[in-house]
Amino acid sequence: MLMVLDPARAERDLATAQLCCPSCSAGRLRPWGYARTRVLRYLGGVRRIVRPRRARCGSCGTTHVLLAAETLPRHADTVEVVLSALTASAAGTGHRTIAADLDVPVDTVRTWIRRVTGHAESLRVAATRWAHSFDPELQPIEPTGSALGDALAAIGAAAAATRARLAMTATPWQLVGVITAGLLVKPLGAARAD
């Protein structure tokens, strides 16, 4: 799974073999069909059909799916929707209220909160390292009083440091997708691909 900030540019880069294979680092990726079509939920109940591009390495033969950075692998909701739920939870709002506000199933919101809280410390550490790699003079990130809040604060600091250092126009949601490598709501016990 490759998270891309600009799917249109990634498509052009695939067509001209400009993307290196992350598996072998030697080969170039080329278009290789599409992944399964799916419907994504955005804030405000907006739904959009997406069909992620699949790419294959000419050297090692490995295939990769290129996902827009605001998309989460195997989830129907965008990073923006999930982060809205997590932020509300960190502020003390219950999962039933969050689900009603976002028009998302209650069980889905409860699962997001449980999963992210379950690996909040590893998210906080990874995001803090990311933030300091882009801004070595970054002040310490203040604790919020909860593991979830601390992880979200570190992720926010990492997104801000990335945007400032690279002068990017990407949305915060896209940056969070890239920073977390699409694993924001990974299942508990799943290995993180660093």
Look at the chain and report how many structural domains it folds into. Answer: 2
The residues, ordered by sequence, that sit 6+ positions from 58 with a Cβ below 8 Å of its Cβ are 17, 27, 28, 29, 30
Range(s) of the domain holding residue 33: 2-68
Prediction pTM value: 0.88
d(CA 166, CA 6): 15
Question: Number of helices (H) and strands (E), helices first, in the chain?
Answer: 7, 6
Interval 58-81: pLDDT, tens: 999 999 999 999 999 889 999 999
- Label residue 188 by pLDDT band (50, 70, 90): low
d(CA 161, CA 138): 8
User: Does the residue 194 lie in any domain?
Assistant: no
User: Does the residue 184 lie in any domain?
Assistant: no
User: Is residue 47 scored above 90 in pLDDT?
Assistant: yes
Interval 1-11: pLDDT, tens: 899 999 999 99
Final residue belonging to a domain, choices 49, 68, 87: 68
Q: Extract the tokens encoding 146.
A: 């909860």
Q: Please tell me whether residues 46 and 128 are part of one structural domain.
A: no
Q: Please tell me whether residues 46 and 133 are part of one structural domain.
A: no
Q: Extract the tokens encoding 58.
A: 């000419």
Final residue belonging to a domain, choices 68, 98, 122: 68
